[in-house]
A and B are shown apart, each in its own frame.
Chain A
């Protein structure tokens, strides 16, 4: 009886073991396939290729599951229609030239990489695959006789070529490019062959628009005077509400030191009571930059509604003037920031304050919003 049990048990274990083994193998194989799939099918890369004929995978080769099929194509097409609704039929055969160039750039790159000893190692499998694709792309289907089995390398190469069967050269170039791009994502950096995004446009502007007018815009100079602006004003200027809240709410925040340092104020880190902190921050909200502008001025100037709202909710004085006598409402009027101006007025911003040039906010507003008209006796 126990013999029988032992016997069953070992059979059971044997079965389980062989099942696991099989499973392991299948996982290994599928993983390998998956990897290949990743290297080959990268739909973003082949955005606009119309293949000249329906893709035929050579000889029903099981090892080539990834030749662009219908799915890829639909993706390609939708990817294609970015800025106008051209029918894709117009472009039949057009891209092959681009493909040629990209392909030759890729092969040149590969040759240079191969010559460079320090470059990364490429697995033998992949090398063979590249070889096969290269042969298809440059010479077409394999028609040379099979080398003898003793010449291992030659035989392996021949196999790699032969198994691709009658794959169209364009397809081979595409796959070649995909593998290279997968291996060296940066290979086309600054190249004439990157077919996606800005590079393509840059290239076209240099290559195919050799003459004509030029679109020019202001030179943007990088400024280094950022240091001079206090952190709270910079946050307000950028509408960085999050950091402003940090400044205002969370006790002594990380940026506190820098913040205070920038004011050249000696502080006592042992601020004891919560009230002191609040008062302190209240003071900060009111503090002005070298031009007399508060954080509210900056937030209004750049049109950050939420930031202005936050500052107002912290009881910042809405009517503080900059060195030219202008309040935040003057700024809102000059910059035509209507919703912010409404917010300011709701928070009792004065409409009857003149700046140093004698202008009410209303005077500076091209749109002449009636609701900021000053309620003062007119002498006109």
Chain B
């Protein structure tokens, strides 16, 4: 096949199989044969994966492992912007049967295509029991914030069948790192069809989105990953709060301890029927200025956080059915907006369960408390989430979340989320509580 230009060629040392050396196989057939075979297999595999582990990222302007903790390197951009005329004008090469497309997320058809690709091929848990199932509305919301570039919604399809087989996106965001607000791209939704894994399409996808970001004169990006790449600015942990423990246990999201009864578990996670805080209500359009003030003030304390203006708040935080929910506390006397909480909706497909097909999860987004204790505010968030039929409420340990996680019966998750900046160096790794950024 001629279209292997992104595949790794077999290492040279592999060109010496035993048939060339018939006589070297020893008839010693000891009991250790199997273990030694395993050991050899392991060694060979390890050496192969190790050698190409970060082959790609080591060529990119990202913090390198060898530089970490080196205070002599200045914080800020790793590489200066290149003149726009020097940015590669043509797309990167794809293997022969495939072509780049720009996905117009305004159209229902394209949105459906993207939805289908992601629903069948996007992130799964380690045991392949669940797969993220971002809704179409969610995708349109996530990909079309103020000032978004259509050219950053990139698809790869098969030339002949027109089938969409890979996807990656960027959306513009102003992100503050310490005192500097930087125009960045938030890179997300990198997905390669299951049957094209191993084509090593991902590096080309990343390069292509980088190129298109550069073409808009933007030189930094933020992204997350479950794996450790060079080099995280922070490592965060997911926590989960059961809202519907019986279903979570039935689908295998959580398990009952041997001595724990379902009955007691259900009692443990029971929540009141309605929020406790007086003046707790859904955010509305006319709240946008007040929420923006509240949020901007709050996010100042974090080392890395988005720099939201009113347009951003209107887009990202104004409630959208089954996409994002926001609540605030309006003081009964002064009618000031004193507190704010929000979560977004990310269901997952339950793979291979007879009784359930979907797990409905709420993900903690941005929360601000000034008058209401954060604990109580988030408890109200749990109550409304439960009321709206969510099965679980997830939160990272970013911002001040640690204050309420244990207290509100969140349990630690098995997923860690690494945050990364592209072409921007921070001199020390941040604690999750220094991070004020949530990517979808």
Chain A positions near chain B (C-beta within 8 angstroms): 48, 52, 83-84, 86-87, 89-98, 100-101, 103-105, 107-122, 124, 127-128, 130-131, 134, 138, 153, 157, 184, 186-193, 198, 200-221, 223, 225-226, 228-229, 234, 237, 293, 297-298, 301-303, 326, 330-331, 334-336
Closest to B22 in A: A127
**Which B residues lie within 8 Å of A209 (CB)?**
123, 190-192, 202, 226
**Which A residues lie within 8 Å of B278 (CB)?**
none
Contact of B197 among A107, A203, A221 (CB under 8 A): A203
Asked whether, in the complex, the Cβ of B26 is within 8 Å of the Cβ of A225, the reply is no
List 10 A-B residue pairs with CB atoms under 8 Å apart, sorted by A's residue number: A91-B196, A93-B96, A94-B97, A108-B13, A119-B25, A121-B29, A190-B42, A219-B412, A229-B259, A326-B263
With A121-B27, A216-B415 as known contacts, state yes or no: A210 contacts B225, CB within 8 Å: yes
Known: A114-B24, A127-B19, A330-B263; 17 extra A-B contacts, CB below 8 A, are A84-B120, A93-B96, A94-B195, A100-B7, A111-B16, A121-B27, A191-B44, A192-B48, A201-B124, A202-B126, A211-B187, A211-B224, A212-B123, A213-B188, A214-B224, A215-B123, A220-B254
B139 contacts the other chain (CB 8 A): no
With A93-B3, A118-B26, A120-B33 as known contacts, state yes or no: A112 contacts B43, CB within 8 Å: yes
Contact of A220 among B28, B120, B255 (CB under 8 A): B255
With A101-B10, A103-B10, A331-B263 as known contacts, state yes or no: A212 contacts B189, CB within 8 Å: yes
Bound-complex Cα distance A104 to B13 (A) = 10
Bound-complex Cα distance A225 to B256 (A) = 13
Bound-complex Cα distance A42 to B198 (A) = 22
Bound-complex Cα distance A93 to B188 (A) = 28
CB distance from B421 to the nearest CB of A (A): 12
Asked whether, in the complex, the Cβ of B41 is within 8 Å of the Cβ of A184, the reply is yes
With A217-B125, A223-B257 as known contacts, state yes or no: A204 contacts B17, CB within 8 Å: no
Asked whether, in the complex, the Cβ of B132 is within 8 Å of the Cβ of A124, the reply is no
**Which A residues lie within 8 Å of B4 (CB)?**
96-97, 100
The 5 closest A-B pairs by CB, nearest first: A216-B415, A104-B10, A114-B18, A131-B19, A216-B413
Contact of A111 among B17, B49, B160 (CB under 8 A): B17
**Which B residues lie within 8 Å of A91 (CB)?**
195-196
With A101-B8, A204-B197 as known contacts, state yes or no: A121 contacts B255, CB within 8 Å: no
Closest to B97 in A: A93
B30 contacts the other chain (CB 8 A): yes
With A90-B165, A104-B14 as known contacts, state yes or no: A331 contacts B197, CB within 8 Å: no
**Which B residues lie within 8 Å of A211 (CB)?**
187-188, 190, 206, 223-225, 229, 420
Asked whether, in the complex, the Cβ of A127 is within 8 Å of the Cβ of B18, the reply is yes
**Which A residues lie within 8 Å of B165 (CB)?**
90
Which residue of A119, A153, A234 has the most chain B CB atoms within 10 A of its CB atom?
Answer: A119
Which residue of A83, A107, A157, A226 has the most chain B CB atoms within 10 A of its CB atom?
Answer: A107
**Chain B residues with a Cβ closer than 8 Å to the other chain, count:** 110
CB distance from A189 to the nearest CB of B (A): 6
B137 contacts the other chain (CB 8 A): no
Contact of A116 among B16, B36, B120, B201 (CB under 8 A): B36
CB distance from B83 to the nearest CB of A (A): 28
**Which B residues lie within 8 Å of A97 (CB)?**
1, 4, 7, 198-200
Closest to A191 in B: B45
Contact of A118 among B24, B28, B43, B414 (CB under 8 A): B28
**Which A residues lie within 8 Å of B28 (CB)?**
117-118
Which residue of B44, B224, B225 has the most chain A CB atoms within 10 A of its CB atom?
Answer: B44
**Which B residues lie within 8 Å of A200 (CB)?**
197
B130 contacts the other chain (CB 8 A): yes
Residues of B210-264 at the interface with A, using a CB-CB cut-off of 8 Å, are 223-227, 229, 238, 240, 246, 248, 252-259, 261-263
